Amino acid sequence: MVLTLDGDWELVWREDEDFKLVQDGHIDDLTRDGRNTITLYANGPDGFFFVNGDLVAELTLIDWQEMGDIGAGIEYFTNHESDDDITQLEAFTIWPLEEITAVPPPGPEVTQPPPGFNGTALRDDMDNLRITIEQIGGLLDRLYNGETQSCAEYLGYFYALANRPTYSGLPVEWQGVYNEYIFAADNIIATNSGVRTLCEEGGGVIGELDYGVARQGIGESLNRINQAIQTANTLLGG
């Protein structure tokens, strides 16, 4: 999937060096002065393409390899790109449903930082996590108000939290910030488990208890990650 800043998008099937156009289109309401959230969701041969929480197109995945798998991928497209740049989202079939329902989401792989800790990279990951939390909050409210079609995108963001980038060997002054980053994601995974199960089973009515627990967890995580980002900016001299 590629998306240009002027709103043109293409879904392309790639095999080795061969490319085949599957579907294309145009989006009129991209945010020019802020961040756009792009989500791809796949369930077997059926795909869905969202931008900023709104369904753009249903996709036909004509060359699907493993029927029955569910996958999701999220990318961020910002006004920092120039008019000639594109955002690419590839290989987004990465969370098979049968693995997710059988056991809790697998923990993210630990990424060893390169020589010389990169605090800016961690701060940027924290900012992406903040945006993901905000999107989950909005989608949770939609689900509670009966918009069951939002389950697909909600699950995509939920699994993105479970697969967030992680680090080891941090400097002492960054450890507290990093702990808040981990807490913000894990807290939502724990408090939103009831909503996640409901969506994985095909959707339905979210009870007041599940909604209240999930909403409280999202609010707490958002507050904690915002404070952690402020601390990270201070450590970076911003």
Q: Would you say residue 207 has pLDDT above 60?
A: yes
Helices (H), the chain: 97-102, 119-144, 151-162, 172-191, 193-200, 208-235
Letter string b/e over residues 128-164, b meaning 16 or more CB atoms within 10 A of that residue's CB: bbbebbebbbbbbebbbeeeeebbbbbbbbbbbbbbb
Higher pLDDT, 207 or 68: 207
Q: Token match 């004509």: residue?
A: 62
Q: What's the rounded Cα separation, in Å, for the pair 195 and 144?
A: 10
pLDDT band per the 50, 70, 90 thresholds, residue 34: low
pLDDT tens-digit readout, 72-96: 455 555 544 444 444 544 444 333 3
**Position 99 pLDDT exceeds 50:** no
pTM score: 0.56
H helices, E strands: number in the chain: 6, 10
Which pLDDT belongs to residue 224? 94
Q: What is the pLDDT of residue 95?
A: 35
Q: Which of 20, 72, 1, 11 is nearest to 43 (CA)?
A: 72
Residues above pLDDT 70, as percent of the chain = 60
> Within the chain, which residue ranges are assigned CATH 1.20.120?
110-235
Q: What is the pLDDT of residue 113?
A: 41
Both tokens of 133, joined, read 């939390």
Residue 107 has pLDDT above 60, yes or no: no
What's the mean pLDDT in 16-42? 69
Cβ-based burial of 105 (10 A; exposed 0-12, middle 13-18, buried ≥19): middle
pLDDT above 70 (res 65) = no
> In the predicted model, what is the mean pLDDT of the chain?
73
Task: Report whether 44 contacts 68 (CB < 8 A).
Answer: yes
Instruction: Answer yes or no: is pLDDT of 198 > 80.
Output: yes
Please tell us whether the domain made up of 110-235 is placed in CATH 1.10.3470: no
**Contact status, residue 126 vs residue 157, Cβ threshold 8 Å:** no
